Amino acid sequence: MKIRKIETNIKRNLYLHSSEISFSPLPSSLESNIIRIYPEYHFQSLLGFGGAITESAGYAFHSLSKDLQDEVIKECFSPNGLNYVLCRLPIGSCDFSIQSYSYSYQENLSDFSVKHDLKYMIPTIKAAQKENSSLSFLASPWSPPAFMKSNHRLSNGGKLLDNYKKVWANYLVKYIKSYQELGIPIDYMTIQNEPNAKQPWESCHYTAEEEANLLKYEIYPVFRKYNLKTKFLIWDHNKDNILTRSTDILLKYHCLNEVAGIAFHWYTGGHFENLQLLSHLFPNQLLLHTEGCTGYSHFRPSDELFNAEMYAYEIIEDFNHGVHGFIDWNILLDYHGGPNHTKNYCNSPIMISKKKDNYIKTPAFYYISHISRYAKPNAKRIHFSKFSDNICVTSFQNPDKSVMIVLLNKTDKSIEYNLCYQNKTFHDNLDSHAIVTWIIDEV
């Protein structure tokens, strides 16, 4: 049995540092400071990790030399990088676009074209596909075209007008088919990004009933008419309201047949209890984190360690409460945290240097990697128990039967512990503000 330790400890200048240790027999007298792993008890399967390719990310990507572009793609999509297997795409413009735009400005959609995306987004997507040909794609609309909306604007909320619901459904079909023709299959689609928010950028408001009816009576039937296999996720907003919204759409408005899963963001805090209950109420529904970011517009802009720990904590607790996958926001951005046509800047795991002659992997890159690189797609989350809430823990058994365990210490004090696996154990110290991944291979 081999056991490998991967550690990131910024104050000691360790970044995904690898070493090996040995197990000892587990004494029957050992009772203190125990973290125990139970590979025989399985929970949900892991869909995987991913990030978003927005126009802003594509613009930042194209500011680099070809050699650096190749490196960035490997950092994101190779097994030795973030190991992303999922990719989120905006349908039309969003806040992280160079400018606002739609694919059509005519009521009959005769001018529909995704040509705008060919400059930055699609070449970046194709580079990602070259690195990982089995990428899965999720697409999200931020707003229907302005002429379809009550406020006649892409931004500041507004409603989809009743007489344009069928047109909007056909608009989405044209998007899916256009991307398919480019070799980019859209596996999943959310009905609306953040449908409960009136944003100064692209946004559109739907009640639970409106979202359900749009899917059930307009989008779902026309997608099936054209034999499109895209699966639909609801909500795509924060966790505080996810339980009521999801139960309303799935049960009150009878959309269990049309919905494949529930998407969510992290911007209003934990609310992991809601995820746990949803996983029990709807065990056949996918639970997917589809957006989260930190930095210049959110949380603690100058505290990169805090931001990295926030990522790791969110991922760990999401999975411990039944979530199947985690998609971050932009895969990379420029040194400002953009470009962004509304100046809604944030950071990303990879940031382009000011001179555009290099890139920086932020601490968040390493903290995400501690989980995304070592918990493989189709891994099963397994049970653990721990002696202290000061250590955040999650664990998975991979398809090759190797076991990975992640330990996060967000406190200012180091913590000694004994990790117990089957009839073996070892003693170690988890330093303050450090993250460790253990890989146990029984071969």
pLDDT band with cut points at 50, 70 and 90 for residue 443: confident
Residue among 121, 92, 90, 120 nearest 104 (CA)? 92
Tens of pLDDT, residues 240-276: 999 999 999 999 999 999 999 999 999 999 999 999 9
Angle between helices 272-281 and 304-320 (to 10 degrees): 20
pLDDT band with cut points at 50, 70 and 90 for residue 296: low
Residues of the chain with CATH 2.60.40.1180: 2-44+381-441
Q: What percent of the chain has pLDDT over 90?
A: 97
Domain 47-374: CATH superfamily, name plus number: Glycosidases (3.20.20.80)
Query: Is there a contact between 376 and 354 (Cβ–Cβ < 8 Å)?
Result: no
HEC sequence for the chain: CEEEEEEEEHHHCEEEEEEEECCEECCCCCCCCEEEEEEEEEEEECCEEEEECCHHHHHHHHCCCHHHHHHHHHHHHCCCCCCCCEEEEEECCCCCCCCCCCCCCCCCCCCCCCHHHHCCHHHHHHHHHHHCCCCEEEEEECCCCHHHECCCCCECCCCECHHHHHHHHHHHHHHHHHHHHCCCCCCEEECCCCCCCCCCCECCCCCHHHHHHHHHHHHHHHHHHCCCCCEEEEEEEEHHHHHHHHHHHHHHCCCCCCEEEEEEECCCCCCHHHHHHHHHHCCCCEEEEEECCCECCECCCCCHHHHHHHHHHHHHHHHHCCCCEEEEEECCECCCCCCCCCCCCCCCCEEECCCCCCEEECHHHHHHHHHHCCCCCCCEEEEEEECCCCEEEEEEECCCCCEEEEEEECCCCCEEEEEEECCEEEEEEECCCEEEEEEEECC
Average pLDDT, stretch 326-334? 98
Average pLDDT, stretch 217-239? 98
Q: Which amino acid is at 140?
A: S
Residues of the chain with CATH 3.20.20.80: 47-374
Active-site positions read 194, 291
What's the pLDDT score for residue 3?
96
Pairing of strands 403-409, 391-397: antiparallel
Average pLDDT, stretch 420-430? 97
Dihedral sign (CA 365, 367, 373, 375):
negative
Q: Does domain 2-44+381-441 have CATH number 2.60.40.1180?
A: yes
What's the pLDDT score for residue 300?
62
pLDDT band with cut points at 50, 70 and 90 for residue 298: low
**Residue 98 confidence (pLDDT) above 80:** yes
**Residue 301 confidence (pLDDT) above 90:** no
